[in-house]
């Protein structure tokens, strides 16, 4: 079982961050922190498949689970990400049971799915016997679908029935837009949905994730029942640290 899933199944909260910068040094540096996982973002960051492969290499040996958010619910993206050795995938904009089933089909090999046979780095270039890989890779794989529309919240119970899915991940920004309160992160409308989601998912899947942009949001999410907490992103945290450093220096000079 993947370490992240194992910890969450024991009732622990697992912490991670978003990687958007195309450098293995960034992922390697982040992996020195006591984090459980990272999401490498191909949807909104300018990262291609080779960038993803290098970023994953930066995590090697660290124990940090490398999850890749693919650009879309597309079997080609999912196949290529798995073949370069991702420890998990996050699929955006999954709003129906049928869309969740499409994720499952993309992950499974025939006859149960449509993933093409030919993993490259995932088998360490053939050093892991193919039969062993095909038999066991799902035991360690994290498969997350992103809940970011009002329709997804309505269909959540059905989405959770898909066996291969390990958990869900809530995108508060897109969900706020879908609910008609775009950017209002403290809106009662948004908070009502955010409180509803873990109540439905608890006990059905081990991972219930969400993005937090501040310590206050992270603590609030944990109290709501989320157990997979994103501590913002590499870019945002870099700018936050530099901004604070600059402000403190300028204040001391006044």
Mean pLDDT for 37-52 is 98
Q: How many CA atoms does the CB half-sphere of 242 hold within 13 Å?
A: 6
pLDDT value for 11:
98
- Homologous superfamily of domain range 3-253: Phosphoenolpyruvate-binding domains (3.20.20.60)
Confidence of residue 174 (pLDDT cuts 50, 70, 90): very high
The shares of helix, strand and coil residues in the chain, as percent rounded to the nearest 5, are 45, 15, 35
Strands (E), the chain: 14-19, 37-41, 65-69, 88-91, 142-147, 167-170, 207-212, 228-233
Domain definitions of the chain by residue range: 3-253
pLDDT band at 41 (very low <50, low <70, confident <90, very high): very high
Query: How confident is residue 218, by pLDDT bands cut at 50, 70 and 90?
Result: very high
Q: Give the pLDDT confidence score for residue 1 in this predicted structure.
A: 67
Interatomic CA distance for residues 119 and 158, integer angstroms = 31
Instruction: Give the model confidence (pLDDT) of 62-71 as tens digits.
Output: 999 999 999 9
Looking at the annotation, which residues are catalytic? 44
* Residue 64 in tokens: 């940090």
Residue 61 confidence (pLDDT) above 70:
yes
d(CA 112, CA 104): 9
Q: What is the pLDDT of residue 50?
A: 98
pLDDT over 80 at 224, yes or no:
yes
In this predicted structure, what is the pLDDT of residue 233? Answer: 98
> pLDDT, tens digit, for every residue of 8-28?
999 999 999 999 999 999 999
Kindly state the average pLDDT of the residues 169-177.
97
Average pLDDT of the residues of the chain: 97
Q: What angle in degrees, to the nearest 10, is found between the helix axes of 97-107 and 75-83?
A: 40
Sorting pLDDT into bands at 50, 70 and 90, what band is 56?
A: very high
CA atoms within 13 A on the CB side of 243: 6
pLDDT tens readout for residues 71-123:
999 999 999 999 999 999 999 999 999 999 999 999 999 999 999 999 999 99
């Amino acid at each position: 079982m993947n370490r992240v899933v194992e910890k969450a199944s024991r009732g622990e909260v697992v912490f991670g961050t978003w990687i958007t910068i195309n450098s293995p040094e960034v992922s390697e540096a982040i992996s020195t922190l006591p984090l459980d996982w990272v999401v490498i973002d191909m949807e909104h960051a300018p990262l291609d498949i080779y960038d993803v492969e290098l970023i994953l290499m930066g995590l090697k040996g660290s124990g940090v689970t490398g999850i890749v958010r693919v650009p879309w619910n597309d079997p080609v993206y999912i196949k290529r990400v798995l073949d370069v050795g991702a420890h998990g995938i996050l699929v955006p904009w999954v709003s129906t049971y049928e869309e969740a089933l499409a994720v499952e089909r993309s992950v499974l090999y025939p006859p149960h799915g449509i993933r093409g046979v030919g993993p490259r780095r995932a088998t360490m270039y053939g050093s892991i016997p193919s039969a062993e890989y095909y038999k066991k890779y799902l035991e360690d794989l994290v498969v997350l679908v992103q809940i970011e529309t009002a329709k997804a919240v309505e269909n959540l119970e059905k989405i959770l029935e898909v066996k291969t899915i390990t958990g869900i991940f809530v995108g508060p920004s897109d969900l706020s837009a879908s609910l008609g309160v775009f950017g209002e992160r403290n809106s009662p409308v948004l908070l009502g949905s955010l409180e509803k989601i873990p109540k439905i998912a608890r006990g059905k899947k081990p991972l219930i994730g969400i993005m937090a942009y501040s310590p206050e949001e992270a603590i609030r999410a944990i109290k709501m029942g989320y157990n997979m907490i994103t501590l913002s992103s590499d870019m945002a945290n870099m700018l936050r640290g530099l901004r604070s450093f600059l402000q403190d220096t300028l204040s001391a000079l006044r």
